[in-house]
Structure 1
Amino acid sequence: MNVQSSTALSAHQLAGIAAALTSAGHRPAGHLDASVITGGRSNMTYRITDGVRTWVLRTPPRAGRVPSAHDVAREHRVTAALWGSRVPVAEAVLLHTDEQLLGGPFAVSTFVDGYSLRTEEDLAQLSDPEVDQVVASMLGALIALHRFDHVSAGLAGFGRPDGYAARQLRRWSGQWSLTGSPELKSLADEVILGLGRRLPSQSAGTVVHGDYRVDNTIVRNAEVAAVVDWELSTIGDPVADVAMMCAYRDSAFDLIMGTPSAWTSDRLPAPDQLAAMYVEAGGRELAHWGFHLALAHFKIAAIAAGIDHRRRSGAGGGPGFDTAGEAVPRYLELARDAMPRAAG
């Protein structure tokens, strides 16, 4: 495998990407140029253009990877199935699984024009009515996802139809064992054991995004133009998506972002209000809400620990990489504190 230490793409790599696009029926009009799209904490994301058309390329980091994370093939498959539905996504263009060119697989999609609401400064560009419109559009997209007929769309094998909570607990406990801080082992063990004792039955099986929040969308005219970052998607319990969306509202998420984030702003609905709005707008009933909220907080703790692990492995830098580790104890505490409610 040709592992690259730099995030820049070489002329040889760009030529290989052009050849892959051509094979997929998207022959570039000329030489490709690439620039890194900032904001990602997992997969590397590039803006690719031939001067006429623009694409987005996603590929895993070159070091510090953990099993089952950074799954660009998963992103490609689910967005290809969702294209044309009521769930706004970028059109999937190609999946390249040969790792020789970039040191890992990569997926390419069309570029969706719009803007990302990552920071508090980004959100400040919108009026209060526009912020409300964005939130309503986000909830509408999530409800559409949870109503999507994944079986008819060819995603019956995208994930098991039941046992989602148990699988998620095993997955993130396993990731924690690889990347978690030894100093937090006692607290993490308490959370993991507590969740294991409270595993609920599953209310439904739908496509779940797995990491839903405003900066994982592209916004245009105060509406969600595309939901992005599908690498954690699977078939699972839709309540878990709502819980993740709410768990990210805690201010500790700013440490993961490395800046005051749009999603923690007090201009947005409080977590409990956000959950109620989802139900009132036609979403699923939030069965076993306490458990899913506790699991969501633990999952974010494991994600933050993974980011810190990649930093220590030399696989990334910039805003959030130096501070994500500081968010881990807060999210573990939030998970533990939700535990008394986790049976409900």
Structure 2
Amino acid sequence: MTDNPPGLDLARLQAHLGTGELRAELIEGGRSNLTYRVTDGTARWVLRRPPLGHVLATAHDMAREYRVLSALHGSAVPVPRTLRLTEDPEVIGAPFYLMEFVEGTAHRDSAALAALGPARVRALADRLVDTLVALHAIDPQEVGLADFGRPEGFMARQVQRWGKQLAASRSREVPGIDRLAEALAASVPDSPAPALVHGDYRLDNVLVDPDDRIAAVLDWEMSTLGDPLTDLGLLVMYTDLAGQFAGVIPGVALAPGFPSGPELVERYAAGSGRDVSGVDWYVAFASFKLAVVLEGIHFRFAQGRTVGAGFDRVGALVPHFVDHGLAALKEV
């Protein structure tokens, strides 16, 4: 804990909240919105704010993230309880929100996960998929999120949107990335019935309790109403590439017992009843989206506007995601 973590003015936050003296620390692991553990010496909270510097439109909307967490609290999908949203950037220099601190482990290391043993690893991965099925089964209208997105034409807009995000962060040539974007746009599938999607669903974006149950699903900044297979494709992509990019992409799927990509798809299909025959397109889209996200992070790093370790390696990863996406579409 420190008195002055980067990106967080504790004196102004303390005055705004009316608390005693605050201390905080940046929670490592994220590459986008900044997350801090904050305490007054008695109570503990978590604060989320946008990244420093270059911010793409709608990508770091604190009110949106706060809204979906508030809507899901008490549902079949465990989330932290929200406490306060402050949209005035004058308080700490950016909009932010506070939520309760949830005890749990975010598994990012394959060795630590492997220590659980294959049976526990498999059971945890199964719970990860089952929680995704539960999320996609929620009726958005019942939780007050009927207007949380525009499902009609969702995938076509997504491909277009991430193409625009790429243009906004473009600072160099990345071989194949435009070909991947064009191939995705030319083969957009017909989406199943819309659902609430997380947008970045993976094991290190959940907290796990000591009994290997999922205590909270975190990092909802990309959530919306849309095609649920985008979440599945992303989860499979992370599993396919586990361990290849140490320090940036979690290698948890390398732990003995963790299911393969096809096994994850099979369990999701059994639980949800959805047709998953076209999942390869969604894996390719996930690869493209991650390539764009990483290119945006590289852009901020090149400007000296990132906080934390590991950002110097991000730019070199982008071509690997492009290649993976092209391979999923049989474009290489």
TM-score, normalised relative to structure 1: 0.89
Question: Could you tell me how far apart the structure 1 residues matched to 2:222 and 2:168 are?
Answer: 18
- Relative to structure 2, which stretch is displaced further, 78-87 or 328-337? 328-337
Any unmatched runs of 5+ in structure 2?
none
Q: Output the CA distance in 1 between the equivalents of 2:138 and 2:50.
A: 28
Partner of 1:73: 63
- Indicate how the Cα distance of structure 1 residues 263 and 64 shifts in structure 2: closer, same or farther if over 3 A, else same: farther
The offset of 1:83, in angstroms, is 0.4
Looking at structure 2, the residues matched to 302 and 270 of structure 1 have their Cα atoms a distance apart, in angstroms, of 25
Change (3 A) 1:256 1:196: farther
Percent of counterpart pairs with the same letter? Answer: 38
Partners of 1:147 and 1:37 in 2: CA distance: 31
Which residue identity does 2:282 align to in structure 1? H
Alignment partners' CA distance in 1, 2:256 and 2:172: 34
Q: Secondary structure at the match of 1:142?
A: helix
Q: In the superposition, relative to structure 1, how do residues 254 and 78 fare at CA in structure 2: closer, same or farther (>3 Å)?
A: farther
Q: Is 1:156 aligned with 2:146?
A: yes
Cα distance change on mapping 1:255 and 1:313 into 2, 3 Å: farther
RMSD: 2.1
Segment of structure 1 superposing worse, 330-339 or 319-328:
319-328
| 2:203 partner letter | V
Q: CA deviation at 1:174?
A: 0.8
Is 1:196 aligned to residue 195 of structure 2?
no
Q: Name the residue aligned to 1:205.
A: 194
Tell me the distance in 2 between the aligned counterparts of 1:259 and 1:187. 21
State the shift of 1:256 in Å.
Answer: 7.1
Superposition deviation, residue 287 in structure 1: 5.0
State the alpha-carbon separation in 1 of the partners of residues 242 and 220 from structure 2. Answer: 23
Residues 248-257 or 141-150, more deviating: 248-257
- 1:210/1:253 CA distance change after superposition, 3 Å: farther
Q: Aligned partners of 1:90, 1:288: CA distance in 2, in Å?
A: 33
Partner of 1:323, secondary structure, is: helix
Instruction: Give, in whole Å, the separation in 1 of the partners of 2:323 and 2:42.
Output: 50
Matches within 5 A, 1:37-52: 37-52=27-42
Q: Structure 1 residues 53, 318: CA separation in 2 closer, same or farther (over 3 Å shift)?
A: closer
Of 119-128 and 202-211, more deviation after overlay is shown by 119-128
Deviation string 1:281-320 (CA, Å, 9 cap, x unpaired) is 3453225322212111111111111221121121225443
Distance 2:242 2:293 in 1: 13
Could you say which residue in structure 2 is the equivalent of 1:94? 84
CA distance in 1, matches of 2:45, 2:273: 33
CA contact (8 A) 1:218 1:226 kept: yes
| Residue in structure 2 matching 1:277, options 264, 267, 272 | 267
Other-structure match for 1:286: 276
Give the alignment's TM-score, normalised by structure 2: 0.92
Among 125, 128, 131, the alignment partner of 2:118 is 128
Specify the SS of the correspondent of 1:160. coil
The partner residue of 1:178 within 143, 168, 171 is: 168
